Amino acid sequence: MRSNEAFVVELERIRDEDDRQNKRIALIEEDTKAIHRLTTSIEKLVIQMQDMLAEQKEQSKRIQRLEEEPGDAWRELKKKALDTVVGIVVGALATGLIYMIAQNI
């Protein structure tokens, strides 16, 4: 009788231990799923950040071109003004030279 009682007690202890281990396993499975979801979210975040960085670099290039545009226009205007002044001076000198030659003939 005693061995039967000892067997029942031991069986109950094993069942309790199984229940505790099953609860631990369930918690670990939940944690593993949460870690997997977190990892997936981080991977997506990294991809989005890489896309944002590429877009930011492109925008930086566009902004730089926009900032350079007024400077380019100003340089072009100065060049044309200088060309015009040089053209007027050369034209005036040529006209004066032609006039002087025409008077001496």
Same domain, 56 and 98: no
Query: For residue 57, what are its two tokens?
Result: 């670099």
Q: Which helix (H) or strand (E) holds 57?
A: helix 2-104
Same domain, 52 and 76: no
CA distances (Å), 26 to each of 19, 29, 36, 37, 90, in order? 10, 5, 15, 17, 95
Mapped onto helix, strand or coil, the DSSP state of residue 1 is coil
What value does the mean pLDDT take over residues 23-45? 98
Same domain, 49 and 83: no
Same domain, 25 and 50: yes
State yes or no: pLDDT of 38 exceeds 90.
Answer: yes
What value does the mean pLDDT take over residues 61-77? 85
Number of domains the chain is built from: 2
- Closest-CA residue to 72 (of 80, 83, 60, 61): 80
State yes or no: pLDDT of 9 exceeds 80.
Answer: yes
State yes or no: pLDDT of 2 exceeds 90.
Answer: no
Same domain, 80 and 61: no
Average pLDDT, the chain: 91
The parent domain of residue 92 ranges over: 70-104
Residue 1's pLDDT is 59
Same domain, 39 and 18: yes
What value does the mean pLDDT take over residues 72-88? 88
Sign for the CA dihedral angle at 51, 54, 57, 62 comes to: negative
The answer for residues whose C-beta is within 8 angstroms of residue 59's C-beta and 6 or more apart is none
Same domain, 8 and 18: yes
Same domain, 56 and 76: no
